[in-house]
């Protein structure tokens, strides 16, 4: 590829079929821009998705794309990476696809640390099947399948990823161009499974579910954009900070100006801190956005070939393998005795 | 101590008597007694001595069931001799029983007058009780008519190995080699191959090596001792007439693994084998895990669905994706197989069938997943289906499955079973240079201004296979998936006529396979006759021998199917040449249904689902009963065993 590609070069001619106003449009824009920014090579880039609104994504990106079956995209992408480790693979999934029907595959892709990006569009609802509650829906969610409100405890995508052994966990909001863009670039540069939770608004079935921290008037106090090596501050002019309460082993919001020494500094390699940050919910706490966790990592497919250097390298021959046991010969015209 | 009682001997005209042409031997004991090892070593020696052979390892489901119990009995059966041996034999002529439970379980299987070697050290009141014997079978009369050789195997083993300072339990573990030495003597075998195996296996543990060698030699010497020879038979077996060539012994699992690796070599593509552990399919996973340098990558997935999906991902990426399981796992894979059908990607799905439904009989054999393979998916989702008939046949069938998958760009199901996976036979080594290469559908050059879909979905008119385009190929970026696609452009299409056209195309593609497979041949017997015995899969050996045992004047023929979907194009005409069609199957009539469905022929079913392979004799009896009671009309439906 000679000339630097533009975001529009990553758009396909397919008519986009998401509902008008769906957060997916914004994500698509950020992704095509990120692809252009990182200099992605279209023929080496693959989007693999499962089933759901978000999983339509591959049709709209001018790269290779595989729209597979419900929940299985991480497993298919794993096989793809084994066959061709050189590929730049993006898995697109949702809260139902990734955490419900495909929870097992997501867990194992993360623990194995397969070298692809996993974009989990979390809208806390089943969109494509018309609005049933999902594994991330909050208790009390009224839906066609829960007319009197859901009551079971939702899963937290970030904590799920952490518990599964993910080494890269980041979060962003669909319409936050800058936040999402920098998270996507960081994910692209990661050597291993890069898990990105995107808070995505489903305008039809779950509109405004993230308003508690995405509303313009609330975002300053309800979001914290974490950066490695920088103090964990938020609010008007960074007036608030996060401190660690050693007695209760929890985070506390403090006055950052009054107690600057007590404000935690973000360490993206610290899994304990990641757990505390990922567990924060609005409005009691700000919601942590940005790269929450990034640890030194080597992707599964690299370790696979390093650990088993002979795998898939055809240096031997079947003719020889056939004879790697005791072989006897029956000679022509001299049938065995008797 | 040793005591022998007289045998009354018996011979059957279907060839099941012990003579120099054919003998069936069975070793049985606790899972921990090492009878599987004893069996494989005995076979190795028999092979080198020039015998034809077939084996049947019969494992318990439990890994280490409580010692001495009937459900913990593990057995290994060997049929060897001079004539073509195609099954592990009906009724054993010789049984070596390491404990009362092994005797109890195996006694009903034995041929009349069989020789039984008992390890009497284990005939304690405790072990007798565990085996469910109220009285010692040696006194109760149940062994009357058999030739009983009582040997204190454990005691002799401990004596033979005393010099090596092993603990009593470690020393006792050498008893399989002591017994093997004795059996080697009985069959007049040279033990040097076994000795060299012991030398290699225990090279790092001189004590164990020497103790096992001593036990083996002591067992052999015991047989030679003058006063015993009168009672212990010394059996000579003739050597078989093999066509010239290089031979080895092979188990079905090994042959299948080699076949898949060979297919990769013939197509010059990597093979990515993705699997999840399940009995009895795991031997294939273990075998392929050693074949990295043959261009094979092995991936143990988190579950059955992930295994098939990873294989599909690998195929999408340009490698030959293969997944393998047994019935319960294949059931889980069905949705993903549909994806590969829709996306027109190659995939090989190996099903090592076992008894079912559900967990069923994991270690026992059955052929009951034919419906699952041919019909068992949502929607109209046809795939080619093949079945291997013998351990060595697995090699050819594996290559054939990959060839079809790549030629037609379709998933292919390869059926084998628990019996084939573990059974062994001699195998004349194929010459890799003589096997036709597997061609890959390469995409055409995309012309300037040409839409990419014109390249991606440029299906070959004969095979309906599309070009195999994978990520990484420049200028051919395209999107594909499980949603119905336009037959020309590949874009998502919900158009009614298009879905009809795509469904027709998928059916025509599988039907097109018939143009590329050989016409069905008759294995034994005339091309037209009174009865065609039609089988598939691992019943091959038993049917073959049974039909050979029927006099030629009866005009009974054996037809054995490798291709089950689509069926060979001449099969209907071939079957029309027979008055009646007998279909023996280890299920309740699945091939019978398939033949009725696809060819409109009525068959006589002969079904058996005991977890054990067919006996030659029961097939002979069945054929004879049909010959004596000739019905007035053809086509008798639904007769059962
Ligand atoms: S249903 Fe919701 S998530 Fe799906 S496309 Fe419409 S707005 Fe977007």
The yes-or-no verdict on residue B59 having pLDDT over 90 is no
Mark whether B430 and B462 lie in a shared domain: no
Reported confidence tier of residue B640, pLDDT bands at 50, 70, 90: very low
Give pLDDT tens digits for B276-323: 999 899 999 999 999 999 999 999 999 999 999 999 999 999 999 999
| Residue B281 domain-assigned (yes or no) | yes
Separation in Å, CA A78 to CA A81, A336, B111, B336: 5, 52, 53, 15
Mark whether B255 and B381 lie in a shared domain: yes
Q: What number is the average pLDDT over the span A308-334?
A: 86
Mark whether B145 and B40 lie in a shared domain: yes
Predicted pLDDT of residue B229? 53
User: What mean pLDDT, rounded, does chain B reach?
Assistant: 91
| Residue B640 domain-assigned (yes or no) | no
User: Quick check: A114 and A80 in contact, CB under 8 A?
Assistant: no
Predicted pLDDT of residue A281? 96
CA-A127 nearest atom, ligand 1: 1
User: Quick check: B250 and B287 in contact, CB under 8 A?
Assistant: no
Which residues partner with B97 through β-bridges?
B28, B118
Peptide bond connecting B566 to the previous residue in cis, omega within 30 degrees of 0:
yes
Chain A contact for B236 (CB, 8 A cutoff): no
Reported confidence tier of residue A336, pLDDT bands at 50, 70, 90: very low
**For ligand 1, mutation pick of A27, A28, A128 (most atoms within 8 Å of CB):** A128
Our count of domains for chain B comes to 4
Euclidean distance between the first and final Cα of chain B, in Å?
Answer: 45
How many C-beta neighbours within 10 Å does residue B234 have?
A: 11
How many C-beta neighbours within 10 Å does residue B520 have?
A: 20
| Residue B604 domain-assigned (yes or no) | yes
CATH code of A7-227+266-302, in short, is 3.40.50.970
Mark whether B564 and B485 lie in a shared domain: no
Reported confidence tier of residue B347, pLDDT bands at 50, 70, 90: very high
Cα maximum dimension of chain B: 93
Facing residue for B293 by CB, picked from A81, A86, A315: A315
Give pLDDT tens digits for A196-235: 999 999 999 999 999 999 999 999 999 999 999 999 999 9
CA distance B399 to B382: 20
Mark whether B215 and B96 lie in a shared domain: yes
User: Quick check: B280 and B418 in contact, CB under 8 A?
Assistant: yes
Predicted pLDDT of residue B232? 67
Supply φ then ψ for residue A33, to 5 degrees.
Answer: -65, -45
Asked if the Cβ–Cβ distance from B336 to A72 is below 8 Å, we say yes
Cβ neighbors of B405 (< 8 A, separation 6 or more) are: B320, B346, B347, B348, B384, B411, B412
Q: Which of A24-28, A69-73, B123-127, B232-236 has the lowest mean pLDDT?
A: B232-236
CA distance B89 to B420: 14
CA distance B233 to A203: 87
The yes-or-no verdict on residue A338 having pLDDT over 80 is no
Give pLDDT tens digits for A47-95: 999 999 999 999 999 999 999 999 999 999 999 999 999 999 999 999 9
User: Quick check: B338 and B367 in contact, CB under 8 A?
Assistant: no
Mark whether B387 and B461 lie in a shared domain: no
* Protein residues with CB under 6 Å of any ligand 1 atom: A 18-19, 22, 24, 53, 123, 127, 202-205
CA distance B161 to B216: 10
| From-to residues of CATH 3.40.50.970 in chain A | 7-227+266-302
Torsion, Cα of A137, A142, A143, A144 (10° steps): 150
Predicted pLDDT of residue B14? 41
ipTM over 0.90: yes
Identify each DSSP E strand in B514-599 by its residue range: 522-524, 529-536, 556-561, 563-565, 578-585
Tell me the helix, strand and coil percentages in chain B, rounded to 5.
40, 20, 40
CA distance B79 to B55: 6
The yes-or-no verdict on residue A337 having pLDDT over 50 is no
DSSP annotation of B468:
-
User: Quick check: B386 and B400 in contact, CB under 8 A?
Assistant: yes
| Domain's final residue, options B405, B434, B463 | B434
| Residue carrying the six token digits 């608030």 | A240
CA of A143 to the centre of ligand 1 (A): 15
| Residue B487 domain-assigned (yes or no) | yes
Mark whether B315 and B288 lie in a shared domain: yes
Cα Rg, chain A, nearest whole Å: 24
Reported confidence tier of residue A307, pLDDT bands at 50, 70, 90: confident
Peptide bond connecting B251 to the previous residue in cis, omega within 30 degrees of 0:
no
Mark whether B390 and B426 lie in a shared domain: yes
Nearest CA to ligand 1 atom 2: A202
Domain range spanning residue B491?
A: 452-515
Mark whether B260 and B347 lie in a shared domain: yes
Facing residue for A43 by CB, picked from B48, B298, B477: B477
CATH number of domain containing B293: 3.40.50.970
CATH number of domain containing B595: 3.40.50.920
* Global pTM value: 0.92
| Residue B9 domain-assigned (yes or no) | no
Q: By three-state DSSP, how is residue A265 classified?
A: strand
CA distance A281 to A288: 8
Mark whether B414 and B467 lie in a shared domain: no
Separation in Å, CA B199 to CA A39, B156, B203: 60, 22, 6
Which residues partner with B583 through β-bridges?
B605
Mark whether B509 and B526 lie in a shared domain: no
CA distance B108 to B94: 13
Predicted pLDDT of residue A96? 97
């Amino acid at each position: 590829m000679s000339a630097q590609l533009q975001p529009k070069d990553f758009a396909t001619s397919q008519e986009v079929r998401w509902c008008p106003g769906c957060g997916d449009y914004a994500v698509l824009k950020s992704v095509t821009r990120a692809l252009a920014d990182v200099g992605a090579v279209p023929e080496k880039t693959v989007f693999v998705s499962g089933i759901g609104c978000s999983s339509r994504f591959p049709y709209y990106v001018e790269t290779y794309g595989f729209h597979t079956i419900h929940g299985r995209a991480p497993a298919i992408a794993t096989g793809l990476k084994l066959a061709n480790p050189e590929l730049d693979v993006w898995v697109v999934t949702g809260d139902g696809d990734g955490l419900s029907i495909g929870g097992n595959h997501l867990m194992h892709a993360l623990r194995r640390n397969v070298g692809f990006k996993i974009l989990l569009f979390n809208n806390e609802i089943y969109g494509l099947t018309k609005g049933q509650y999902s594994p991330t829906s909050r208790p009390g969610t009224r839906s066609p399948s829960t007319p009197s409100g859901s009551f079971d405890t939702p899963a937290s995508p970030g904590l799920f990823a952490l518990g599964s052994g993910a080494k890269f966990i980041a979060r962003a909001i669909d319409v936050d161009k800058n936040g999402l863009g920098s998270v996507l670039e960081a994910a692209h540069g990661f050597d291993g499974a890069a898990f990105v939770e995107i808070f995505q608004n489903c305008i039809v079935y779950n509109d405004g579910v993230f308003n508690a921290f995405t509303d313009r008037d609330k975002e300053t106090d309800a979001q914290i954009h974490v950066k490695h090596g920088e103090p964990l501050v938020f609010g008007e002019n960074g007036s608030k900070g996060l401190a660690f309460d050693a007695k209760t082993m929890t985070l506390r919001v403090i006055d950052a100006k009054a107690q600057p020494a007590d404000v935690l500094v973000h360490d993206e390699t610290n899994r304990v801190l990641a757990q505390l940050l990922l567990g924060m919910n609005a409005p009691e706490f700000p919601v942590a956005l940005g790269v929450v966790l990034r640890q030194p990592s080597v992707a599964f497919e690299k370790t696979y070939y390093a650990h088993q250097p002979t795998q898939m390298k055809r240096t031997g021959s079947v003719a020889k393998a056939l004879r790697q046991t005791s072989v006897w010969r029956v000679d022509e015209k001299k049938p065995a005795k008797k | 101590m040793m005591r022998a009682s007289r045998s009354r001997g018996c011979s059957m005209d279907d060839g099941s008597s012990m003579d120099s042409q054919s003998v069936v031997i069975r070793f049985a004991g606790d899972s921990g007694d090492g009878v599987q090892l004893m069996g494989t070593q005995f076979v190795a020696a028999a092979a080198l001595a020039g015998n034809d052979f077939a084996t049947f390892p019969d494992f318990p489901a439990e890994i280490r069931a409580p010692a001495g119990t009937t459900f913990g009995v593990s057995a290994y059966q060997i049929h060897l001799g001079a004539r073509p041996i195609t099954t592990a034999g009906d009724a054993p002529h010789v049984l070596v029983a390491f404990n009362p439970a092994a005797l109890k379980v195996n006694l009903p299987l034995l041929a009349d007058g069989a020789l039984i070697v008992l390890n009497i050290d284990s005939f304690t009141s405790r072990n007798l009780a565990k085996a469910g014997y109220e009285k010692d079978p040696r006194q109760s009369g149940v062994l009357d008519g058999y030739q009983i050789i009582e040997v204190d195997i454990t005691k002799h083993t401990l004596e033979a190995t005393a010099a090596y300072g092993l603990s009593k339990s470690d020393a006792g573990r050498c008893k399989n080699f002591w017994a093997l030495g004795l059996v080697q003597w009985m069959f007049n075998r040279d033990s040097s191959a076994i000795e060299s195996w012991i030398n290699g296996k225990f090279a790092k543990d001189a004590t164990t090596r020497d103790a096992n060698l001593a036990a083996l030699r002591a067992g052999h010497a015991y047989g030679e001792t003058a006063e015993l020879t009168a009672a212990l038979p010394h059996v000579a077996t003739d050597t078989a007439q093999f066509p010239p060539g290089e031979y080895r012994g092979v188990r079905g699992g090994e042959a299948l693994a080699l076949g898949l690796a060979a297919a990769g070599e013939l197509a010059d593509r990597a093979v990515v084998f993705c699997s999840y552990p399940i009995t009895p399919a795991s031997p294939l996973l273990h075998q392929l895990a050693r074949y990295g340098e043959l261009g094979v990558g092995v991936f143990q997935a988190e579950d059955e669905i992930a295994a098939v999906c990873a294989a599909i991902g690998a195929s999408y990426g340009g490698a030959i994706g293969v997944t393998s399981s047994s019935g319960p796992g294949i059931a889980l894979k069905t949705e993903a197989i549909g994806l590969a059908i829709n996306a027109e990607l190659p995939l090989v799905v190996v099903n090592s069938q076992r008894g079912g439904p559900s967990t069923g009989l994991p270690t026992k054999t059955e052929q009951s997943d034919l419906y699952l393979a041919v019909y068992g998916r949502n929607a109209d989702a046809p795939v080619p289906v093949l079945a291997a008939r013998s351990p060595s046949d697995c090699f050819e069938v594996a290559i054939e499955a990959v060839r079809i998958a790549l030629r037609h760009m379709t998933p292919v199901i390869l059926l084998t079973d628990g019996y084939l996976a573990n059974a062994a036979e001699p195998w004349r080594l194929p010459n890799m240079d003589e096997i036709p290469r597997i061609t890959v559908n390469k995409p055409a050059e995309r012309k300037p201004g040409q839409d990419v879909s014109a390249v991606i979905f440029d299906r070959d008119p004969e095979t309906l296979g599309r070009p195999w385009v994978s990520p990484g190929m420049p200028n051919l970026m395209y999107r594909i998936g499980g949603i119905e696609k336009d037959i020309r452009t590949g874009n998502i299409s919900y158009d009614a006529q298009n879905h009809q056209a795509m469904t027709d195309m998928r059916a025509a593609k599988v039907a097109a396979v018939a143009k590329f497979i050989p016409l069905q041949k008759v294995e034994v017997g005339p091309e037209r006759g009174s009865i065609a015995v039609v089988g598939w899969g691992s019943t091959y050996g038993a049917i073959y021998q049974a039909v050979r045992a029927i006099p030629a004047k009866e005009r009974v023929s054996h037809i054995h199917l490798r291709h089950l979907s689509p069926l060979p194009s001449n099969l209907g005409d071939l079957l029309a040449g027979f008055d009646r069609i007998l279909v023996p199957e280890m299920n309740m009539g699945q091939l019978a249904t398939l033949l009725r469905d696809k060819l409109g022929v009525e068959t006589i079913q002969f079904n058996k689902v005991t977890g054990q392979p067919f006996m030659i004799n029961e097939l002979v009896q069945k054929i004879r009963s049909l010959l004596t009671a000739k019905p007035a009309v053809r086509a008798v439906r639904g007769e059962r065993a």
